[in-house]
Amino acid sequence: MQNNIFSGLFVAQKLVTLKEVDSTNTYLKNILANSTPVPEGTVIMAESQYAGRGQQQNRWYSSTGESLAFSILLNPAFLKPDQQFDLTRAISLGIHEALVPLLGEAVKIKWPNDVYVDKRKMGGILIENTIRGNAIKHSIIGIGLNINQDNFPEWVPNAVSLKQILHKDYDLKALLFELCAGIESWYIKLRAGETSLIRERYLQALYRYNEPALYTAAGEVFEGTITTVTDNGLLKVVHEQKPHLYNLKEIEFLHNH
């Protein structure tokens, strides 16, 4: 192991910690909108977020000192807009790689970009891309993870924290650096063109991959099996011997507790 595991990192070389912010993604977007030069790999970390967002404007519950809430700026100009989901895969794998030493194989990526432990949600990723011409100019990667919570409000029915699973408190900043190291390592693989490896490993880490389970789509409840995720990020589920493709919010995972 290197003496200083952070020495090679460009992700989190510049770390800005805010006491309270509406959303770290919004904060980073505002800096970029003011044409302030922001080095790639800059991380904005919030001690408390009062308007954290998930996909499709879902609320993200975050409390002071208990959650990891941060955003990373990346400039993946090597990616075309139709390759956006490969960035989602790489970021997801970076988080997965950082959490496996703590949680083992119970940690999975739920399509498209939630972090699950067994059947419960530990966190999520929100990636906002700025497209310029035929390339992605900026990506703001927002990550929220439940770390030291003992309990959750009723409107967060399926949540779990690292502390609830492992029964101890964790140092948020140390975990942040582990996550940034994992993300950087998979981002570098993406930049080097290792797309087939990334797609293969994403499937291996995918929640419910090749397992029959219950879903609902278009008002119908059915048993289906996830067989793959298409290059551009659609979920392929086989039910009644036929493959069906779903976009975000077209299919819902049903959980039996």
Helix, strand, coil in percent for the chain, rounding step 5: 30, 35, 40
Of residues 3 and 226, the one with the higher pLDDT is: 226
Q: What is the pLDDT of residues 67-115, one digit of tens each?
A: 899 999 999 999 999 999 999 999 999 999 999 999 999 999 999 999 9
Nearest alpha carbon to residue 126 among 202, 49, 42, 52: 52
Task: Provide the Cα torsion 68, 20, 88, 242; round to 10°.
Answer: 80
Cα 122 from Cα 156, distance rounded (Å): 11
Q: What is the pLDDT of residues 169-192, one digit of tens each?
A: 999 999 999 999 999 999 999 999
Confidence (pTM):
0.90
In CATH, what class is 15-204?
alpha beta
Place 57 in a pLDDT band, splitting at 50, 70 and 90.
very low
Place 60 in a pLDDT band, splitting at 50, 70 and 90.
very low
